[in-house]
């Protein structure tokens, strides 16, 4: 029989088997029943290596060895070291189990919450991940009195703290002492869980070679079970594939790392009287006892342990059992923040230019706006910033899958989902509910006073107002230690360093809205009434049953008393209904607050708060005066949507369906009354955005039916705003009298988004939007729609050019609704006008055509007029401000609707009289002169003045002279405005 050492060696990928073969006794035979243990591929290779054509037969392993292997395996470990077969099988099975463990951990820990996947590319925790800074710390540093809230103090280096990488936390300390137990702590939102995921994934992908096995546990999961269990059983219960590894656990040659996340969930007691010593990994003990003995190093003394916890729970582990404290400090400089943003804001469609522009604006603002940089110190707020930017900018390819309120609600779920403020407190208060109650009141009172900065006295007033018992004091202490810095930060504005602001300004409005919608601002009578009504309601059926039985025996007076008790829920319902009506009225008042009318719409406000405002910075006092709090009513509406109420319920902040229904019903009345009033464009955009956030199609349809005229002129329309406009107005499908989108920075994609809305408009104004030939394709499409109802279309001051005229000409020829078309100042030139004239012959409905200010010359003008004369319905053609000679102008002045079928408008004067269309022409000029070439328009205005003066000299009628003088003064006023550049 040939020896394994003499056989040809397999390839390098079987190097682990090479070592085993080199150690194997000659002629070893591997029975087929061990194939499942070895793995089919390894078994086949071994068999091929051990057989040869010249071999008479294998050397068999004795039946006693096989019998002994099965006996030892049933006991939980493999064959003794002295027997090479059992040793080899144990080694191979263990290695396979660890590889399988790595694969499964990589799958589990690579899974991200839906909120992480919604914005930007999927953030895998690989080499591109940005690790927050962590520093060595001490228990004494954390246990210092909470005399300040300071995020600044967190950023400062105190004591002998030094930065350390997560991979090096188990390196020897300064004195050379071996580090086995590490405690990693940090407040909410600093990235503890993410860092633990990164640590585990590093090991799965070949990092952390100093450990043979990493076993992560969630202390939240461990806290849910009360049944005693052994350590080995605990491991194999969660990781069944590690059964083959258990015999090696505890060996000095087998290096193990336990990762315990969220220690605050467990109640640990290191006193021997409470938690006995346990060194047997197969002895069943409570879960907390396993953790205590691991930290004591009485159980598996060679194993390393890393624990993550909130600062309030640090004292639960005596410092003598901790070799190193490590504090997670977030992104301590803007370079880390920028790197994070660059990864998260990268475009999936490969538009690197747009991403670069966005990053440049954000970087400049981080450098100059210290408050934003301080907020992004927390990785959680970096996520919120990126999510908001994706919401504002990255909606061209797909529609938004979240509302703004939904983003903030998801942000809180990422950080507070399932979190209990103090797990050892019997009340088990939801952390988010506690935040809504305390900080919500601070936010709401600040909102009512239009206040964004708070003194220490303000904080003590609102945070300690209900601190009456030891239990409440303990809750407040935990809250200040673990949560307060997440929402409040010292103001970095010069002169206000001793004041505090909400980390993100919009968070104040969100918490204030949540405080109101949850009903936390109810009166004492309403609170007591609610509790009493609920108690009576639960017992209502029992009371009814008892009354039915005792009615025959009780006097009427007592029976009437019981009936009063039954009536109480109805009485409370009226009080509660009044409170819900107050909520609806508050929302409507804030939605249409007059002093906020001339602010930018809220989407632009959010954009500028993140990316900054180009140009000189406003003085601080002027900034405060402009504080609008316009997000508050929008957040109120968003919180009432079903999706957000479901998420809030997971956070312990339940909004009952009936309460939401009553608020919605009361809100409809107030909003209908307010929406009938004409609103400035920015306020109207906010109202439409509110309806979008509310996410109630039936409610929205009933409210927007009253909106017949939509004036959004000068609102900077983005893809998001266009989507909101189309989504809100699309719920009702009603016809619009007018939609004004003048000077809205529209592009072809925006037109495509709004096309289903355009053909339902009677009058559509798209002037001053830089719409070129590409946009004309979308205009043509909605004009040729079979249900198109557009009668007046204004496309003036867009670079349509001759190429666009060819596309628009098709729409003019095929459209059956359009009666008034303005192509004023659209760079058509003679060629473009000739194209329009050619298609005009196929049109049968147009009544008015404006081709003014298009560089039209005599021959083209005359040809166009000839076509207009033959048109069955066309009555008026605008040709002023063109390069038409005086002779042709005089010739065209004589045309009359009655005899020639068309009127051509060329000037404000017609011979010895002022043109009856002078007011129309002046209105067109004054409303469009902004953005025109000043020198060229001055020349045209001087020509109009010459015509007026010539006409005035031809008449002797004093009334006509007065009319000429009045129109001349109007033209001179426009001319002066152009010359001074005050357009």
Q: Give the predicted TM-score (pTM) of the model.
A: 0.81
958-980 helix and 918-928 helix, angle to the nearest 10 degrees: 10
Residues 164, 165, 169, 175: is their CA dihedral positive or negative? Answer: negative
Amino acid 827: pLDDT:
93
- What whole-number distance in Å separates Cα of residue 872 and Cα of residue 869? 8
Q: What is the DSSP letter of 680?
A: -
Nearest to 324 by CA among 496, 145, 492, 135: 135
pLDDT at 815 over 90: yes
Q: Any idea what DSSP says for residue 270?
A: -
Residue 230 near residue 285, CB atoms below 8 Å: yes
Q: Is the pLDDT of residue 1 over 70?
A: no
How big is the CA angle at 967 (ends 965 and 972), to the nearest 5 degrees? 90
Q: Which of 713, 715, 714, 694 is nearest to 703 (CA)?
A: 694
How does residue 727 score in pLDDT terms, banded at 50, 70 and 90?
very high
Query: Do residues 891 and 918 lie in contact, with contact meaning Cβ atoms separated by under 8 Å?
Result: no
Per-residue pLDDT reduced to its tens digit, 437-476: 999 999 999 999 889 999 988 888 877 766 678 888 888 8
Q: What is the mean pLDDT of residues 794-817?
A: 94
Backbone phi, psi, residue 611, to 5°: -95, -5
Which is nearest to 489 in space by CA: 508, 474, 476, 473? Answer: 508
Task: Count Cα neighbours of 729 within 13 Å in the Cβ-side half-sphere.
Answer: 30
Task: Give the dihedral of Cα atoms 586, 587, 591, 593; nearest 10 deg.
Answer: 0
Phi and psi angles of residue 325, each rounded to the nearest 5 degrees, phi first: -100, 135
Residue 736 CB contacts under 8 Å (≥ 6 apart), including other chains: 707, 708, 709, 710, 729, 757, 760, 761, 762
Token pair of 455 as six digits = 């003194």
Sequence-separated (6 or more) residues with CB below 8 Å from residue 91: 20
Q: Which of 69-73, 351-355, 825-829, 975-979 has the lowest mean pLDDT?
A: 69-73
Q: What is the pLDDT of residue 104?
A: 92
Question: Averaged over 570-590, what is the pLDDT?
Answer: 65
Q: What was the pLDDT predicted at 123?
A: 39
**Confidence label for 927 from pLDDT (cuts 50, 70 and 90):** confident
CA-CA distance, 264 to 310, in Å (whole number)?
7
Reply yes or no on whether the pLDDT at 125 is more than 50.
no
Beta-carbon contacts of 494 under 8 Å, excluding residues fewer than 6 positions away, are none
What gap in Å lies between CA 620 and CA 904, rounded to an integer?
56
Report the C-alpha gap between 64 and 70 in whole angstroms: 10
Contact 226, 524 (CB under 8 A): no
H or E stretch at 711: strand 709-711
User: Is the per-residue pLDDT at 700 higher than 80?
Assistant: yes
Q: How far apart are CA 349 and CA 677, in angstroms?
A: 42
Give the three-class secondary structure for 821.
strand
Other beta carbons within 10 angstroms of residue 38's beta carbon come to 20
Averaged pLDDT for residues 782-799: 94
Most confident of 157-161, 281-285, 665-669: 281-285
pLDDT at position 673 is: 76
Cα angle 859, 864, 869; round to 5? 125
**The pLDDT of residue 158 is above 70:** no
Q: Which is it for strands 909-910 and 913-914: parallel, antiparallel or unpaired?
A: antiparallel
**Is the Cβ–Cβ distance between 628 and 596 less than 8 Å?**
yes
Q: What is the mean pLDDT of the chain?
A: 80
Does residue 224 have a pLDDT over 60? Answer: yes
Residue 155 has pLDDT above 70, yes or no: no
For the chain, the helix, strand and coil percentages under 3-state DSSP, each to the nearest 5: 55, 10, 35
Average pLDDT of 910-918? 85
User: Which strand ranges, in their side-by-side order, compose the sheet holding 304-309?
Assistant: 133-137, 324-330, 181-185, 304-309, 256-261, 213-218
Q: What would the two tokens of residue 729 be?
A: 């107005």
- Report pLDDT for 548: 58
The answer, yes or no, to whether residue 536 has pLDDT greater than 60, is: no
Name which residue leads in pLDDT, 45 or 164. 164
**Residue burial 627-648, b: 16+ Cβ < 10 Å; e: rest:** ebbbbbbbbbbbbbbeebbebb
**How is residue 65 written in tokens?**
């060895």
Helix (H) or strand (E) holding 575: helix 556-591
- How many other CB atoms are found less than 10 A from the CB of residue 619? 9
- CA distances to 28, 346, 514, 518, 697 from 407, rounded to whole Å, are 64, 19, 14, 19, 20
Q: Which pLDDT value is given to residue 396?
A: 62
DSSP, res 28: B
Question: Residue 858 above 50 pLDDT?
Answer: yes
- Which pLDDT band holds residue 91 (cuts at 50, 70, 90)? low
Measured CA to CA, the distance from residue 740 to residue 355 in angstroms comes to 31
Q: Checking DSSP bridges between strand 133-137 and strand 324-330, what pairing results, if any?
A: antiparallel
pLDDT at position 121: 44
- Would you state the pLDDT for residue 76? 44
Question: Is the Cβ–Cβ distance between 577 and 662 less than 8 Å?
Answer: yes
Q: Across 127-263, where does the E strand assignment appear?
A: 133-137, 181-185, 213-218, 256-261
Buried b (16+ CB within 10 A) or exposed e, 40-51: eebbebbeebbe
Q: Tell me, rounded to whole angstroms, the distance of Cα 464 from its chain centroid.
A: 32
For residues 378-383, give the mean pLDDT.
Answer: 89
Mean pLDDT of 559-588: 58
| 3-state secondary structure at position 281 | coil
C-alpha count within 13 angstroms, C-beta hemisphere, residue 623: 12
Q: Are 330 and 132 in contact (CB under 8 A)?
A: yes
The predicted pLDDT at position 816 comes to: 92
Helix or strand run (H / E) with residue 382: helix 379-393
Sequence-ordered strand ranges (E) for 824-874: 848-850
Query: What whole-number distance in Å separates Cα of residue 289 and Cα of residue 225?
Result: 13
pLDDT value at residue 349: 54
Rounded to 5 degrees, φ, ψ at 930 are: -65, 125
Distance CA 917, CA 204 (A): 81
């Amino acid at each position: 029989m040939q020896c394994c050492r003499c056989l040809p060696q397999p390839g390098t990928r079987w190097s682990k088997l090479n070592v085993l073969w080199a150690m194997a006794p000659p002629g070893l035979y591997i029975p087929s029943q061990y194939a499942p243990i070895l793995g089919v591929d390894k078994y086949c290779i071994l068999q091929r290596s051990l057989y040869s054509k010249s071999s008479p037969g294998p050397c068999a392993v004795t039946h006693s060895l096989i019998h002994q292997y099965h006996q030892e395996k049933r006991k939980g470990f493999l064959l003794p070291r002295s027997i090479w077969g059992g040793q080899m099988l144990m080694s191979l099975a263990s290695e396979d189990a660890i590889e399988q463990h790595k694969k499964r951990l990589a799958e589990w820990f690579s899974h991200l919450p839906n909120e992480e996947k919604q914005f930007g590319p999927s953030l895998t925790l690989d080499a591109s991940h940005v690790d927050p800074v962590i520093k060595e710390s001490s228990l004494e540093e954390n246990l210092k009195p909470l005399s300040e809230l300071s995020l600044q103090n967190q950023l400062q280096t105190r004591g002998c703290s030094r930065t350390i990488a997560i991979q090096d936390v188990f390196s020897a300390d300064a004195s050379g002492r071996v580090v086995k137990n590490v405690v990693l702590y940090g407040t909410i939102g600093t990235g503890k869980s993410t860092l633990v995921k990164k640590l585990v994934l590093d090991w799965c992908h070949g990092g952390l070679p100093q450990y043979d096995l990493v076993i992560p546990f969630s202390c939240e999961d461990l806290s849910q079970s009360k049944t005693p269990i052994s350590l080995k059983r605990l491991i194999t219960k969660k990781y069944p594939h590690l059964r083959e590894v258990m015999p090696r656990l505890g060996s000095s040659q087998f290096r193990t790392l336990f990762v315990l996340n969220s220690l605050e969930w467990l109640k640990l007691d290191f006193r021997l009287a409470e938690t006995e010593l346990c060194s047997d990994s197969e002895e069943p003990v409570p879960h907390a006892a396993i953790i205590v003995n691991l930290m004591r190093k009485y159980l598996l003394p060679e194993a390393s342990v890393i624990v993550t916890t909130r600062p309030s729970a640090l004292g639960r582990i005596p410092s003598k059992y901790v070799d190193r404290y490590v504090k997670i400090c977030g992104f301590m400089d803007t370079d880390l923040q920028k790197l994070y943003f660059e990864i998260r804001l990268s475009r999936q469609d490969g538009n690197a230019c747009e991403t670069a522009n966005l990053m440049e604006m954000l970087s400049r603002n981080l450098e100059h706006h210290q408050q934003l940089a301080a907020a992004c110190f927390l990785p959680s707020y970096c996520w919120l910033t990126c999510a908001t930017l994706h919401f504002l900018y990255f909606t061209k390819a797909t529609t938004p899958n979240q509302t703004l309120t939904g983003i903030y609600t998801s942000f809180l779920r990422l950080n507070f989902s399932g979190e209990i403020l103090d797990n050892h407190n019997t009340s088990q208060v939801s952390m988010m509910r506690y935040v809504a109650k305390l900080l919500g009141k601070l936010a709401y009172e600040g909102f009512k006073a239009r206040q964004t900065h708070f003194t220490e006295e303000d904080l003590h007033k609102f945070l300690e107002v209900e601190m009456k018992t030891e239990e409440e004091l303990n809750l407040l202490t935990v809250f200040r230690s673990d949560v307060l810095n997440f929402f409040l930060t010292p103001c970095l504005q010069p002169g206000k360093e001793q004041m505090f602001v909400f980390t993100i300004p919009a968070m104040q409005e969100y918490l204030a809205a949540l405080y109101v919608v949850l009903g936390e601002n109810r009166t004492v009578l309403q609170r007591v009434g609610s509790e009493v009504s609920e108690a009576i309601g639960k017992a209502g059926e029992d009371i009814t049953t008892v009354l039915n039985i005792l009615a025959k025996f009780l006097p009427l007076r007592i029976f009437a008393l019981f009936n009063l008790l039954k009536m109480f829920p109805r009485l409370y319902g009226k009080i509660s209904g009044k409170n819900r009506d107050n909520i609806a009225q508050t929302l409507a008042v804030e939605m249409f607050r007059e002093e906020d009318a001339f602010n930018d719409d809220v989407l632009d406000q959010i954009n500028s708060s993140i990316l900054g405002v180009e140009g000189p910075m406003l003085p601080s006092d002027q900034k405060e005066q402009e504080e609008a709090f316009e997000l508050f009513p929008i957040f109120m509406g968003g919180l009432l949507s079903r999706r957000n109420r479901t998420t809030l319920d997971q956070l312990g902040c339940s909004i009952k369906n009936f309460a939401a229904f009553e608020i919605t019903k009361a809100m409809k009345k107030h909003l209908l009354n307010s929406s009938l009033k004409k609103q400035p464009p920015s306020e109207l955009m906010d109202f439409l955005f509110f309806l979008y956030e509310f996410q109630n199609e039936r409610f929205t349809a009933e409210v927007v039916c009253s909106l017949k005229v939509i004036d959004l002129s000068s609102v900077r329309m983005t893809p998001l705003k266009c989507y909101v406009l189309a989504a809100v107005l699309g719920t009702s499908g009603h016809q619009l009298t007018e939609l004004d989108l003048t000077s809205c920075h529209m592009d072809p994609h925006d037109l495509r988004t709004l096309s289903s809305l355009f053909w339902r408009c009677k009058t559509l104004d798209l002037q001053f939007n830089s719409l070129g030939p590409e946009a004309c394709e979308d205009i043509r499409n909605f004009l040729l729609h079979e249900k198109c109802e557009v009668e007046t279309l204004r496309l003036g001051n867009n670079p349509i050019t001759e190429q666009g005229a060819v596309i628009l000409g098709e729409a003019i020829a095929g459209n059956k609704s359009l009666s008034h078309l303005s192509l004023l100042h659209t760079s058509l030139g003679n060629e473009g006008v000739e194209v329009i004239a050619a298609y005009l012959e196929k049109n049968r409905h147009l009544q008015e055509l404006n081709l003014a200010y298009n560089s039209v010359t005599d021959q083209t003008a005359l040809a166009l007029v000839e076509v207009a004369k033959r048109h069955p319905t066309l009555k008026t053609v605008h040709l002023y401000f063109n390069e038409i000679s005086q002779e042709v102008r005089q010739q065209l002045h004589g045309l009359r609707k009655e005899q020639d079928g068309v009127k051509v408008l060329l000037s404000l004067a017609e011979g010895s009289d002022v043109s009856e269309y002078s007011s129309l022409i002046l209105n067109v000029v004054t409303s469009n002169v902004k953005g025109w070439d000043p020198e060229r328009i001055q020349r045209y205005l001087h020509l109009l003045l010459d015509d007026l003066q010539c006409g005035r000299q031809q008449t002797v009628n004093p009334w006509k002279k007065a009319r000429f003088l009045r129109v001349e003064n109007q033209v001179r006023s426009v001319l002066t405005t152009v010359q001074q550049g005050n357009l």
